[in-house]
Structure 1
Amino acid sequence: MAVRFTFRQLEYLVAVGEVGTIAQASLKLNVSSPSISTAINQLEGQFGIQLFVRHHAQGLSLTPGGRRVFKEAQRILADAAALSDIADDVAKRPGGAISVGALTTIAPLLSAKYRKSFEAHYPSARVSLFTGDQVALFSRLARAEIDVAITYDMEIPQDVHFEGMIALRPFVMLHRDHPMARQSEVSLRDIAGEPLVLLDLPLSRDYFLSTFRRIGLVPNITDRTNDLSVARSLVANGFGYSLLNIGTDLDLAPDGQRLAILPISEEVGSVTLGLATKQVGVKSAIVAAFFDHVRAEISAHGLPATKTR
């Protein structure tokens, strides 16, 4: 049989058990005596036991079974109060655990740095880091496995809130000895016929290909990889050029070969880097603090180890 009772009924039960009369419980809770009496009767009917012995002109005393229920009711009310305190703490004070996801392509540049600076500002915060492609990050948000995703404004689901932080134009990545490597910028019209090493990640690949389509070009794709480190190595060893969402100052491939990373001369649009969360009415204090922190870091310092134009 399903047992249905309210916290208010338990509150009335505990008050009567503590003071011994309905009249005194009424004064303590500022509730009418009939309301308390009705609640006690309802609980006895629901539980199928007598909770109190009624003494004429001497109040009420708990039965042995009633005392056990009384003690459990006290515990339930205390746990509910503690839960309310935790929720209040989460809502108002930036501390505790926060799970942050970041795109695999930008995680090495941003996630550890922002974790370090955020935990320095909020010593009671504990940041857990995860990486994945755009689709994987949105799936983690939907399953509440992460609180925040550092990502781009591409194909944002309706149930995800995205706040842009900085607009980024794509860059070209070349072998250090490529004939165009000493230029200040590279024209896609000049390089489109050469072998392209495509960073083949969900949504990112469509963005890179649309960069060519905007100016009526079709690239010559000869290699595909979903690993940015592999793309950097392939380019550094002369297998082609590649496109990046972020122009980085880091010009070494994993195998130590040199790279040249240059802006694109044509107007090819941009993507916006920002933070995404599950669509909720009010952010928790720690999530709101993380948004404010990243926004302030980008405003003051830009993105770590990146080129700007």
Structure 2
Amino acid sequence: MPLRYTLRQLEYFVAVGTTGSIAAASQQVNVSSPSISTGISQLEEELGVQLFVRHHAQGLTPTVAGRKLLDHAQMVLRQAAGLRDLAGDLSGTIRGPLALGCLSTFAQIVLPGLRRSFVELHDEVRISQLEADQSELFSLLRQAKIEMALTYDLDLPRDLPFVPMIELPPIVAMSEDHPLAGGTSVTIEQLAPHPMVLLDLPHSADYFLSFFVNAGLRANITERTRDMAVMRGLVANGFGYSIVNVRPFADRAPDGKPLRFLPLAGNQRPMKLGLLMASATDRTQLHKAFLAYARSWIEERKGLLSGASARVD
């Protein structure tokens, strides 16, 4: 006898199972609470098991059978979504989910605008995002929690393909009244005696400090932070300079105080910004389309992102 449950009923079941209440599930799937309640009752009748224990004031708790079936229901929904996306891929349609990661140092500058403009162009694409440091991005890709990651060519592993897009030379951020702010560029030798606010992230910190090591110098680190916005605030308030590769579109810290950006003189290795991918992700229409669009979008903003347009007036 054929089963008569629907994918919609499974969606309601998963929503309630993961949120713990019909009201929360209703908001998640944008369907009325009575419809969800009816759908779950019909699913229970069709499957012949009770999926939830109903609590009058505390929501719903999955039964033993419900917990076992919840994992299978999620798998069925993923497979159904994959079937739809495969059909779109075969027909050349750009649609489906895209799990995208981004290096936290420039996620706030690049990711929202890129994401918005891409989904406006392809309204059947659903992008989710995660911000992380370099090591975390490697792990997320290998665990298939993300499919692509916008990042730098910094200590890249051999098993993850990288497509470079633009080169970003290091630039120095400082307050407007910093003793070196009046120049057109600044050298490592000039910076070394001054207090430094280090953007202290895995791989990134070693890259910034390598400039001093290569010059036989030692950075005068007085502040450390893992947060790009905090770094900008410390710099603008005179706690020291910092070195970055991506320049914010506005020359101000989050508290509104001005910042000055100067090119770092010398033969310093630039960073290449690009897309890091899990194996074979670029074979789908969606991944190919996003790769091409991201390359064009980022290339158009190269002057803003790099120190090329840093003001020195």
Corresponding letter in the other structure for 2:142 = A
Q: Partner residue of 1:211? A: 211
Q: Partner residue of 1:199? A: 199
| Superimposed CA distance per residue, residues 44-97 of structure 1 (whole angstroms, 9 cap, x where no aligned partner) | xxxxxxxxxxxxxxxxxxxxxxxxxxxxxxxxxxxx999766534246432111
- TM-score normalised by length of structure 1: 0.69
| Superimposed CA distance per residue, residues 274-299 of structure 1 (whole angstroms, 9 cap, x where no aligned partner) | 00110227521111110000112233
SS at match of 2:186: coil
Q: Partner residue of 2:288? A: 288
Q: Provide the alpha-carbon RMSD of the alignment.
A: 2.2
For the pair 1:103 / 2:91, whether they are aligned, the reply is: no
Matched ranges for 1:1-309 at <5 A: 86-90=85-89, 92-280=92-280, 283-302=283-302, 306-308=306-308
Aligned partners of 2:95 and 2:175: how far apart in 1?
45
- Cα displacement (A) at 1:247: 2.9
Contact 1:247 1:262 in 2 (8 A): no
Aligned partners of 2:300 and 2:106: how far apart in 1?
19
Number of positions where the alignment pairs a residue of Structure 1 with one of Structure 2: 230
| Superimposed CA distance per residue, residues 250-296 of structure 1 (whole angstroms, 9 cap, x where no aligned partner) | 22112222211111122211110000110227521111110000112
Contact 1:110 1:303 in 2 (8 A): no
Corresponding letter in the other structure for 1:297 = W
Q: Structure 2: state its 5+ residue gaps.
A: 1-78
SS at match of 1:211: helix
Larger displacement relative to structure 2 (173-182 or 299-308): 299-308
Alpha carbons of 1:238 and 1:286: their partners in 2 closer, same or farther (altered >3 Å)? Answer: same
Contact 2:94 2:289 in 1 (8 A): yes
Alpha carbons of 1:138 and 1:166: their partners in 2 closer, same or farther (altered >3 Å)? Answer: same
| Superimposed CA distance per residue, residues 203-256 of structure 1 (whole angstroms, 9 cap, x where no aligned partner) | 000100112222222111111111111111111111111111223342211222
Alpha carbons of 1:203 and 1:180: their partners in 2 closer, same or farther (altered >3 Å)? Answer: same
Corresponding letter in the other structure for 2:86 = A
Alpha carbons of 1:134 and 1:240: their partners in 2 closer, same or farther (altered >3 Å)? Answer: same
Aligned partners of 1:86 and 1:236: how far apart in 2?
47
| Superimposed CA distance per residue, residues 6-50 of structure 1 (whole angstroms, 9 cap, x where no aligned partner) | xxxxxxxxxxxxxxxxxxxxxxxxxxxxxxxxxxxxxxxxxxxxx
Moved over 4 A (4+): 80-86, 303-306
Contact 2:194 2:240 in 1 (8 A): yes
Alpha carbons of 1:300 and 1:251: their partners in 2 closer, same or farther (altered >3 Å)? Answer: closer
SS at match of 1:137: helix
Identity %: 38
SS at match of 2:210: helix
Alpha carbons of 1:172 and 1:224: their partners in 2 closer, same or farther (altered >3 Å)? Answer: same
Larger displacement relative to structure 2 (103-112 or 244-253): 244-253
Q: Structure 1: state its 5+ residue gaps.
A: 1-79
Aligned partners of 2:261 and 2:227: how far apart in 1?
17
SS at match of 1:308: helix
- TM-score normalised by length of structure 2: 0.68
- Cα displacement (A) at 1:140: 1.0
SS at match of 2:189: helix
Aligned partners of 2:195 and 2:106: how far apart in 1?
24
Aligned partners of 1:223 and 1:282: how far apart in 2?
40
SS at match of 2:212: helix
| Superimposed CA distance per residue, residues 118-144 of structure 1 (whole angstroms, 9 cap, x where no aligned partner) | 112212111112111111111111111
Aligned partners of 2:249 and 2:82: how far apart in 1?
48
Aligned partners of 1:128 and 1:270: how far apart in 2?
29
Contact 2:171 2:307 in 1 (8 A): no
